[in-house]
């Protein structure tokens, strides 16, 4: 479905592709956004064309601090371009990201990614038809010796970290148990991703 795979399972090449796709999508609508005077319509256009190009396939990304910062930096540059402010002008006027977000009225890409990831996790955990997505999620290698050092963050680890950051009520229950109940999982998403 368009995801760039590599032997080391690194997300950097895929993120680079997503960033290029977002800039290409933005450049396609730049003349239209410049002609629009209503910031709300401009933000809707940006959120419906550029944001999906940036976040495509992010449901399966293992989200680290470095990855989230790269997405945030790319989105901030796109946002500045949308409102017509350069980075030097932003620094000169002492504007923060929140100030530009208030001007642009676009959605936060990290919240969009978290919502997509939580939705995908619930979808996987409710499957009972033996598909490989569920089997791989629950698979644990037996008899394999772990290499020295800290293990790389897995998809479920980053998901558990996201939920523990947001959810104080469900810490005693594993995320996969909550995700099996569609209504409870939707409540977790609704309450903690705004």
Mean pLDDT of the 43-51 span: 95
Number of structural domains, the chain? 2
DSSP 3-state assignment of 56? coil
Between 157 and 43, name the one with better pLDDT.
43
Between 36 and 154, name the one with better pLDDT.
36
Of all residues in the chain, the percent with pLDDT exceeding 70 is 89
* Residue ending a domain, choose from 51, 85, 107: 107
* Residue ending a domain, choose from 48, 83, 107: 107
168-183 pLDDT tens trace: 554 556 777 888 889 9
Length, in residues, of the chain: 194
Q: By residue range, what is the domain housing residue 182?
A: 114-141+152-192
pLDDT band for position 187 (cuts 50, 70, 90)? confident
- Whether residue 2 is contained in a domain is answered as no
Give yes or no for a contact between 2 and 57, defined as CB atoms under 8 angstroms apart. Answer: yes
Mean pLDDT, the chain, rounded, equals 84
pLDDT band for position 75 (cuts 50, 70, 90)? very high
Residues 92 and 133 grouped into a single domain: no
77 burial level (CB within 10 Å; 0-12, 13-18, 19+): middle
Q: What is the pTM of this model?
A: 0.81
pLDDT band for position 164 (cuts 50, 70, 90)? low
User: Torsion over CA of 109, 114, 119 and 123, rounded to 10 degrees?
Assistant: 120
Q: What is the pLDDT of residue 30?
A: 93
């Amino acid at each position: 479905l368009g995801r760039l795979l590599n032997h080391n399972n690194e997300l950097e090449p895929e993120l680079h592709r997503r960033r290029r796709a977002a800039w290409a999508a933005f450049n396609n609508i730049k003349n239209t956004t410049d002609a629009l005077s209503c910031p709300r319509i401009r933000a809707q256009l940006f959120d419906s064309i550029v944001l999906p190009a940036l976040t495509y396939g992010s449901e399966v990304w293992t989200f680290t601090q470095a990855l989230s910062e790269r997405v945030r930096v790319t989105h901030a540059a796109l946002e500045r371009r949308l409102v017509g402010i350069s980075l030097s002008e932003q620094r000169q006027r002492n504007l923060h990201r929140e100030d530009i977000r208030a001007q642009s009225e676009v959605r936060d890409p990290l919240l969009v990614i978290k919502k997509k990831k939580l939705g995908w996790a619930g979808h996987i955990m409710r499957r009972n038809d033996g598909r490989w997505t569920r089997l791989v999620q629950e698979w644990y290698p037996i008899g394999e010796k772990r290499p020295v050092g800290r293990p790389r963050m897995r998809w479920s680890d980053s998901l558990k970290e996201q939920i523990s950051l947001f959810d104080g009520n469900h810490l005693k229950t594993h995320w996969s148990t909550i995700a099996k109940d569609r209504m409870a999982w939707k409540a977790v998403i609704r309450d903690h991703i705004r």
